[in-house]
Structure formats: structure tokens, C-alpha cells
Amino acid sequence: MTRITRTGGTLIVLALLGLFPGVPLLRGQDFKAEQPVAMTAPGQAPEIAMVNLLAKQLNLKIKSDPMLPPEELAGVKTLILILGASGKGLGEAGVDLRSETRRAQALISAAKRRGIKLIGMHLGGVMRRGENSQVMIDAAAASLDFLVVRSDGNKDGLFTKMAKDQKIPLVQVEKTLQVGEVLKKIFTL
């Protein structure tokens, strides 16, 4: 076997395992979701803006509202929850962590009653792994149907363990921009 062939084979194996930078972890790639899609950020994490931008580039229409109430889930087939909390975002929105946790739980409960698929996204990396964010992550963890995580926010394996324990398909990305590729596959765009 030539050196180039061995190297290429190694890169393919690493990519399949999600260990090669720039390639999403492939576990969970069979997960499919349908439109219409709603998205919110309980905890007011700013990453909702990036997902909006990526969705717009794909012509994926998302009803995006950082303060989305459960009553507005009528007709929705997929709900994306941006997992994390921002002290600045909470303050600007005039809400606190307790009320946002209650809203997240109400959204999850309403989504489960309506048969809406729940996708959790933690894209703030290590900066969005503080105590407040953990409250939001814990509020959603057991209810998700699919999980997308930026790898630098999973260095301690929290999301890997959560996905394994709850049997949630997980895709791990190196960069937030790779979420566009994940959305393409999920929604067959």
C-alpha cells in the first residue's frame, strides 16, 4: 500500500469517526426533519442569528423568534432550540433565567403533545458552557430528537454522554458555519 493511499484511508476513517477537523461527526446523519420550522433561543443565546443566516442561504424558511411562545407552534413540524444562555441577552430581552427555563419547558411539552421534532443546537462553544447555559441544556436534554454541537463546547464530553444516555443522534461540527451542511441533510435541501 502506498503512503498516499494509507494517508487517504486514514483521513476517511477519521472523518467517519468525526475526528478530522472540518468534517461533522457522522453519527445521526440519517435523521430527517420536515418543514415548517420554528426556532427559538431559550436563554437568549445569540447563536440564533447565525443559524438564521445559514438557513436563509439555503432558502430554508424558519419562523425565528428568540421569545417564541408555545401557542405559536401550530402547524410547525420541527422546532430548533438554541441551547445556551447569555446574561447580556437575558438582560436586553427583559427576562431572567427562571422564566426562560419555564418557557423552554412549556415549548418542549407543547412540541411533544403535537408530535413536533425537537432539534437542540449548542453552537456557542466553550464560551456558552457556563452555569446559566447548563440550566438551559439540562432543561432540554432528555426531550431532544437530534443534537448539533460545536466540538469546542463538548471538550468534556457532556453532549456525547447526553446523546448516548438519551439515545439522541448527535452531529458534532468544528465550526458554526458547518451547521448549514447539517441543515441541508436534515431537511433534504
DSSP structure string for 144-182: -SEEEEEGGG-TTSHHHHHHHHHT--EEEESSGGGHHHH
Q: Enter the CATH code of domain 21-186.
A: 3.40.50
**Taking every pair of C-alpha atoms in the chain, what is the biggest distance, in angstroms?**
63
Q: What is the mean pLDDT of residues 81-93?
A: 91
Do 179 and 148 form a contact (C-beta atoms < 8 A)?
Answer: yes
Q: What are φ and ψ of residue 182, in 5° steps?
A: -65, -45
Do 117 and 187 form a contact (C-beta atoms < 8 A)?
Answer: no
Lowest-pLDDT range of 13-17, 127-131, 148-152, 170-174: 13-17
Grid cell of 175 as nine digits? 465550526
The CA distance from 182 to 175, in Å, is 12
Lowest-pLDDT range of 23-27, 77-81, 174-178: 23-27
Q: What is the mean pLDDT of residues 134-152?
A: 93
The CA distance from 8 to 180, in Å, is 25
Single pTM value for the model: 0.84
Q: Which residues contact 162 (CB under 8 A, 6 or more apart)?
A: 137, 141, 147, 168
The CA distance from 119 to 62, in Å, is 13
Cα distances (angstroms) measured from residue 67 to each of 20, 58, 90:
36, 24, 11
Surface-to-core class of residue 78, CB atoms within 10 Å of its CB (0-12 exposed, 13-18 middle, 19+ buried): buried
The CA distance from 79 to 155, in Å, is 26
Domain ranges of the chain: 21-186
